[in-house]
């Protein structure tokens, strides 16, 4: 697949105009911290959302303030730098202003700044909490933006129209991208913590020193792409920056690198998650795995530097069992124990990635799916709730890019997440979905 837009929206504005409130409204849960004190959000906060079937990422940025003298100047400069990174990496900018205050010099400064970038900018007039503000004398049109929307992030009014416009823009972008696509070449992105051997693996695949490799973590600051064409396979290999824990992201360049990796995951076909076997599977590896799963991308796990350990068959099996417990219920994922430096165990990776792409395209016949799954659900039905006997009568797979299944029930609203995990485990046990996330929905029959 050719590179395409990853659908990123950033909320930009001066402090205390309601950016975090709007972010939480769009994401659908209280993920950002918001408070009446301005400047609470100092780092970028990411979230995923979907509207009318179009998924996108939303970024809540810190409040943009003019540079001031004083002890906090360094912090403010860092915030402004990260806001600029967010603008550069986004497809759509929501420029948020407060209708309950006049246009400030900061609003004008932000408008001038945003005009320097070739981005789609929507002026969003917030805090229209009642009708009297709709016809306020505040002349926001003087900021010079053609598209503007009146909303109340607090109570949700007007946000539907805004989201309609956002997905309309993304649909237009996708059509343009499809017209430009000439050849379907899959993207395989190599992700992981810093210094796990991602660039070394690329060099081993290519059999030449294409990427700089050092012992210093963070050498790769951007996502680097290279064409791989060997043994009958043709793909784009993407070397991504290492992703640290959020608490360790202190430099603007590191923030930029992290955002690049997240964006890369969203447009890739298969993610190859590299783990340092010496350090072991850590929480950040789980976080990256879940990020790939939430974006419904194929995944392969590589335990690199295995040559530095006692690579007995039993140790390898124990390690594999431990990892599969960590990633359950999506646990039937290919796991390879390799040495990128010595090129041992790497010859199966690209063929396996192609196999996962093929598996992703498989569609189960409805009669086969029901013949297998209905007896399982009759023997182990969903737990009764409020004295209601819950049954599932029928299931089918949708014709979608990634595997999605609908199970029709008399009381779908009472089926718990634990039963969904049970269904997923049974699906994976009977059908081949190795390395592919699946989605399960319960609907009213």
Q: What angle do CA 29, 31, 32 make, to 5 degrees?
A: 125
Q: 423-439, pLDDT tens digit by residue?
A: 999 999 999 999 999 99
pLDDT at 176: 57
Average pLDDT of 129-138? 59
Residue bearing the bigger pLDDT, 320 or 227: 320
Q: Which of 402, 220, 191 is nearest to 289 (CA)?
A: 191
Average pLDDT of 59-72? 64
pLDDT at 42: 45
pLDDT at 35: 40
Q: Which region among 110-119, 222-231, 314-323 has the lowest average model confidence (pLDDT)?
A: 222-231
Q: Which region among 132-146, 148-162, 217-231, 378-392 has the lowest average model confidence (pLDDT)?
A: 217-231
Residues 6+ apart with CB under 8 A from 373: 395, 423, 426, 427, 430
Six-digit token pair at 24? 């939480």
Residues 6+ apart with CB under 8 A from 71: none
**For the domain 366-444, what is the CATH superfamily, name and number?**
K homology (KH) domain (3.30.300.20)
Q: Alpha-carbon distance 170 to 166, whole Å?
A: 6
Q: Across the chain, how many H-helices and E-strands are there?
A: 11, 15
187-359 maps to CATH 3.30.930.10? no
Q: 259-283, pLDDT tens digit by residue?
A: 666 777 877 899 999 999 999 998 8
pLDDT at 443: 93
Residue 317 has pLDDT above 70, yes or no: yes
CATH 3.40.50.300 location in the chain: 8-180, 187-359
pLDDT at 426: 94
CATH topology for 8-180 is Rossmann fold (3.40.50)
Q: How confident is the model at residue 133 (pLDDT cuts 50, 70, 90)?
A: low
Return the residue matching tokens 């039993």.
Answer: 314
Q: Is 151 helix (H, G, I), strand (E, B) or coil?
A: coil
CATH 3.30.300.20 location in the chain: 366-444
The pTM assigned to this predicted structure is 0.58
Separation of first and last alpha carbons in the chain = 37
Six-digit token pair at 221? 């600051």
């Amino acid at each position: 697949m050719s590179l395409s837009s990853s659908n990123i929206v950033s909320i930009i504005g001066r402090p205390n105009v309601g950016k975090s409130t709007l972010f939480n409204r769009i994401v659908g849960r209280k993920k950002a911290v918001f408070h009446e004190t301005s400047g609470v959000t100092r780092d970028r906060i990411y979230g995923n959302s979907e509207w009318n079937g179009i998924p996108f990422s939303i970024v809540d940025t810190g409040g943009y303030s003019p540079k001031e003298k004083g002890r906090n100047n360094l912090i403010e400069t860092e915030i402004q730098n990260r806001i600029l990174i967010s603008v550069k990496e986004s497809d759509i900018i929501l420029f948020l202003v407060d209708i309950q205050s006049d246009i400030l010099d900061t609003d004008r400064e932000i408008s001038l700044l945003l005009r320097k970038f070739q981005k789609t900018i929507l002026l969003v007039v917030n805090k229209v909490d009642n009708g009297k503000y709709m016809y306020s004398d505040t002349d926001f049109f003087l900021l010079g933006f053609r598209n503007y929307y009146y909303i109340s992030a607090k109570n949700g009014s007007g946000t539907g129209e805004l989201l309609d416009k956002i997905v309309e823009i993304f649909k237009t972008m996708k059509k343009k991208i499809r017209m430009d696509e000439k050849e379907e070449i899959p993207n395989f992105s190599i992700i992981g913590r810093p210094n796990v051997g991602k660039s070394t693996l690329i060099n081993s695949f290519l059999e030449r020193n294409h990427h700089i490799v050092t012992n210093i973590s963070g050498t790769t600051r951007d996502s680097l792409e290279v064409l791989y064409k060997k043994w009958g396979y043709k793909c784009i290999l993407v070397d991504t920056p290492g992703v640290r824990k959020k608490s360790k992201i202190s430099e603007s360049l590191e923030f930029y690198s992290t955002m690049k990796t997240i964006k890369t995951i969203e447009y890739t076909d298969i993610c190859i998650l590299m783990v340092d076997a010496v350090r072991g599977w850590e929480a950040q590896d789980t976080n990256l795995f879940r990020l790939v799963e939430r974006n419904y991308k194929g995944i392969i796990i590589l335990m690199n530097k295995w040559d530095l350990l006692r690579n007995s068959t039993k140790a390898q099996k124990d390690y594999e069992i431990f990892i599969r417990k960590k990633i359950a219920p999506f646990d039937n994922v290919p796991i390879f124990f390799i040495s990128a430096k010595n090129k041992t165990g790497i010859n199966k990776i690209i063929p396996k990635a192609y196999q996962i792409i093929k598996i992703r395209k498989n569609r189960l016949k409805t009669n086969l799916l029901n013949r297998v799954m209905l007896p399982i659900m009759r023997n182990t039905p969903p737990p009764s709730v409020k004295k209601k006997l819950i049954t599932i009568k029928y299931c089918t797979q949708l014709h979608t890019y990634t595997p999605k299944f609908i199970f029709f029930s008399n009381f779908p609203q009472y089926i718990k997440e634990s039963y969904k995990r049970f269904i997923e485990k049974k699906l994976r046990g009977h059908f081949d979905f190795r390395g592919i996330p699946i989605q399960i929905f319960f609907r009213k029959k």
